Chain A
Amino acid sequence: MVLDLFRKAEIEPPADIEAATLRSDRFRLEREVDWQRLDNIVTALEKNRPRRISDEDLLDLPVLYRKTASSLAVARETSLDAATLAYLESLVRRAWFQVYGPRIGLLGWLRRFLGGGWSAAVREIWLDICIVLAVMVAGTVVGWLLVEQDERWYYSLVPGGMAGGRAPGADPEMLRESLGTTESASGLGVFAAYLFSNNTGVCIMAFALGFAFGVPTLLLMVYNLALLGAMFWVFQDAGMGLDFAGWLSVHGTTELGAILLSGAAGLHVGRTMAFPGDRTILAAMRSAGVRAAQVMAGCTIMLIVAGLLEGYVRQLVGDTASRFAIGGAMLALWVLYFAFVPAPRERET
């Protein structure tokens, strides 16, 4: 029959149990059917096809798991059949992995993550966010003050390629042009994608450097924001401080937010390494790492948004007031989301 091909293999009842001369083999033959049933269920679960399991099997699953586990315990003490022991160990291990495996897939996780898991994780590292925010503000001020004192600082802070002619004493017309818009959207998409991968690099560095007790993360924050402060001074010097702030705010509120969060996540891990409290370092790092990972996963989303804002919106909207409006709206959106979206309810597992 054709249908038989698609039916799963029936479990063969064991050969004549009484034919076995050894007691341990009779023990095994008596329980073999249960083991094979559990094996079939676990295989179906591993293949992600729980529908193939019959209701009867599903109801018996806890009993079968316990029976097999106790068979293993007995067999270890009474049987010297290496192959059977190996089979039982692997079967119990596989069943155990299914019982304690991940309960939600990528999409389920993503839904729960956006629906509050992310904001809850961000709220949990509030202290680190405050520290990094303070350091970022300090970095900007330092950059500003340094260049104000001595313009030569600008050249050591800002790498030549990034300055792109935006140097102290540059022609104001040229500066204004660099804040301007482009005629159409063509060419901007690739630019946005490029910015995105560039910014992601900075964020991941900020997070990864956190492992050295968070110190390099803070240094990276100071450096990057000093750069910003220095550039801000150049524009302020040319009388375009407000325009520059507007230009920056379109994507900056999102992008700097992402950098802030990733720095805070890195610092959180580093700080936990240095001060694990009354837990072991490994246990403390584990909980900190899981929290920081959620924050970082969210940073990726923020950076995609920032890249699109930077590549498209900023180049198309030229008016400073509307730029401020867009940037402010984004900032409000993020702050409201992080502050007020409640954590998802833990599902009973």
Chain B
Amino acid sequence: MSTVSRPRAVLQADLAKRQRTLVTPEGLSLPLIVGARGSRAGALILDLLFLTIGTVAFLIFLSAIGFGLFDMGSNPDTNPVLQGLLVIVILLLFLARYGYFLWFELGPRAATPGKRIVGLRVAARDGGRLTAEMVIARNLVRDVEVFLPLFFLLGGGQGAGVAGFAAFIWLMVFVLFPLFNKDALRAGDLVAGTWVVEARQAKLKEAMSLAPDRADQYQFGEAELSVYGEHELQVLESVLRQNRAESLREVAEAITNKIGWQLGAGDEREFLEAFYAALRGHLETGMRFGKRKADKYS
């Protein structure tokens, strides 16, 4: 509970920057966190990976069950029956490019597998319902943002002189678009009226004050409890929930030093639980009277 370390401060500043409040049609204000650009890029890379693996597996499967796709590809004119199949495969692969994103983002989680893994989902920016048309719009523009630049780079479009260079600049405008607005919207999000927000699940953890009441063993006075504020209380809560012996000892020492107590060895957890309950009771009573204490400095 000493000074907040520097990387943590940077993290918190970043989190505060991405915090948005969304008012639902019922008038409830919901805090949302806009997905970080890094995790969105990660989600996209995962999705592309899945698509590639799926495509390769599909082709291997086809060749394995005897369509001989790879032999046929070298000499397509010889077998007209299997030709039709090749056409279907080409069309299927084309549709997979769109269908993959559409299918998953239209599902109940509004997220592709890649987004789900990194804990993101698509939502309507105005707090209303996410419609199918919005999802379609944002995924059509994806073609310009992801696939065209990809094919451009892979297909050697850079050799096309001035026109190629102009195309490159134009495509880069789309690719870099999310870096230049505060909600990390890509062009597709802008057009469709959507954004990508964090959607992590949280589990309900144990209530904290179920531990046996030790108010008669440890009695804290007003002066001892008014040393700390809400921030320190929450740090203490996470230390108690993690329940690691050495951090319990360090924290117990820091607190006893601060409030001038002496503590026997082995009593750390009991002491901290009692102190937590007392401090939380103290701060919550203050809250009910409209007095809040954010941290030890206030």
Which A residues have a C-beta under 8 Å from some C-beta of B?
A: 14-15, 19-25, 28-29, 32, 35-36, 39, 45-48, 69, 72-73, 77-84, 86-87, 89-94, 96-98, 100-106, 108-109, 184-187, 189-190, 192-193, 196-197, 200, 204, 207-208, 211, 269, 282-283, 285-286, 288-290, 292-294, 296-297, 300, 304, 349
B204 with A293: CB separation less than 8 A: no
A69 with B28: CB separation less than 8 A: yes
A289 with B191: CB separation less than 8 A: yes
Complex-state Cα separation, A211 to B99, whole angstroms: 24
Chain A residues closer than 8 Å to B106, beta-carbon distance: 102, 104-106, 109
Add 20 more A-B contacts to A21-B215, A187-B83 (CB < 8 A): A19-B210, A22-B284, A24-B284, A45-B108, A78-B287, A81-B208, A87-B205, A92-B30, A101-B110, A102-B110, A103-B131, A184-B80, A185-B83, A190-B83, A193-B90, A197-B90, A200-B94, A207-B140, A269-B191, A283-B193
> 1/0 per residue B22-34: CB within 8 Å of A?
0010101011100
A290 with B133: CB separation less than 8 A: yes
Chain A residues closer than 8 Å to B32, beta-carbon distance: 93
B123 with A97: CB separation less than 8 A: yes
Known: A82-B238, A290-B192. A25 touches B140 (CB 8 A): no
What 8 pairs across the A-B complex have the smallest Cβ distances? A289-B191, A293-B137, A286-B193, A189-B87, A208-B144, A90-B202, A193-B90, A22-B209
B196 within 8 A of A: no
B76 within 8 A of A: yes
Chain B residues closer than 8 Å to A45, beta-carbon distance: 108
B136 within 8 A of A: yes
- Nearest-neighbour CB distance to chain A for B121, whole angstroms, equals 7
Q: Which of B1-9, B38-46, B55-63, B275-283 contacts A (4 or more CB under 8 A)?
A: B275-283
B window 197-223: CB within 8 A of A: 199-205, 207-210, 213, 215
B252 within 8 A of A: no
Chain A residues closer than 8 Å to B230, beta-carbon distance: 80
Complex-state Cα separation, A2 to B136, whole angstroms: 44
Complex-state Cα separation, A166 to B4, whole angstroms: 75
- Residue in chain A with minimal CB distance to B287: A78
- Residue in chain B with minimal CB distance to A81: B208
B87 with A190: CB separation less than 8 A: yes
B288 with A187: CB separation less than 8 A: no
A87 with B140: CB separation less than 8 A: no
Tell me which of B28, B86, B98, B125 contacts A190 (CB under 8 A).
Answer: B86
Chain B residues closer than 8 Å to A289, beta-carbon distance: 137, 141, 190-193
Chain A residues closer than 8 Å to B124, beta-carbon distance: 100
Chain A residues closer than 8 Å to B18, beta-carbon distance: none
B135 with A96: CB separation less than 8 A: no
**Contacts between the two chains (Cβ within 8 Å), count:** 213
Tell me which of A19, A32, A286 contacts B204 (CB under 8 A).
Answer: A32
Known: A48-B108, A97-B123, A293-B137. A87 touches B202 (CB 8 A): yes
Known: A97-B199, A211-B187. A189 touches B83 (CB 8 A): yes
Complex-state Cα separation, A308 to B222, whole angstroms: 83
Chain A residues closer than 8 Å to B77, beta-carbon distance: 186-187
- Nearest-neighbour CB distance to chain A for B152, whole angstroms, equals 11
B83 with A100: CB separation less than 8 A: no
A304 with B140: CB separation less than 8 A: no
- Nearest-neighbour CB distance to chain A for B123, whole angstroms, equals 7
Complex-state Cα separation, A106 to B95, whole angstroms: 13
Complex-state Cα separation, A72 to B124, whole angstroms: 22
- Residue in chain B with minimal CB distance to A90: B202
18 contacts between A and B (CB under 8 A): A15-B207, A29-B207, A86-B202, A87-B205, A91-B202, A101-B130, A102-B131, A103-B131, A106-B106, A185-B83, A186-B80, A193-B86, A197-B94, A208-B148, A282-B193, A290-B193, A293-B137, A297-B140
